[in-house]
Homo-oligomer: A and B are copies of this chain.
Amino acid sequence: MEQRLSLVTLGVRDLARAKRFYDALGWRGQEAQETVFYQAGGIAVVLWSRAALAADSGLEDAPMPAFGGIVLAHNVRSRRQVDDILASVEAAGGRVTKPAQETFYGGYAGSFVDPDGHPWEVAHNPGFGLAEDGALVLPDLSAG
C-alpha cells in the first residue's frame, strides 16, 4: 500500500448542518448525491451520512462516543491564526474542547469538535514545516 491517503470521510447525522459549519469556516465544497466533497490539498475531506458510511464500511453504526479515536489537525503559520480559527469555530456552532495554549513541543494549539463530534486540533507547530501550498513537511525527527 503506497504511503498516502486519498479521502477522509466524516460521518454526519445532518448533512446540511455539517456543510453549514465547514462553509462558515470558509471551505467550499461540491455537493453530489447527498455527499459533500472538499478538495483539501492532495486529498478530499468528505461529509456523508454516518449510517451510510458505517454500512458501506461493513460496520455496525453506533452512536457517536465521547471520543471516536481519530483526530484531524490543521496546522497554521502563527499563534494568531490559532486564536482566529477557534473564534470562528465558536461563531459557526462548533465547540472548543481545549482553549488555545502552549504545547509540550513548544507550539500553541487548541481543539474543537464539529457539530457531529469529530475532533480537530488547530496548531502552530514551529518544528513542522508548512509549504507555500499548505502541505505539511515532517522534519527529520531523529535530529535534535
Contact = CB atoms under 8 A, between A and B. Distances in A.
Most buried by B among A45, A54, A71: A71
Interface string A1-17: 11111111111000000
A70 B8 contact: yes
Interface of A: 1-11, 25-28, 30-32, 37-45, 50, 53-54, 56-76, 85, 88, 97-98, 111, 113, 116-119, 121-123, 128, 130-131, 133-138, 140-142
A61 to B, nearest CB: 6
Given A85-B1, A138-B44, A66 B59 contact: yes
A70 B10 CA distance: 5
Given A57-B111, A111-B56, A40 B72 contact: no
Given A1-B26, A43-B5, A74-B4, A116 B57 contact: no
A64 B69 contact: yes
A132 B88 CA distance: 36
A5 B40 contact: yes
A37 B27 CA distance: 27
B6 A73 contact: yes
Contacts of A41: 4-5, 41-43, 135
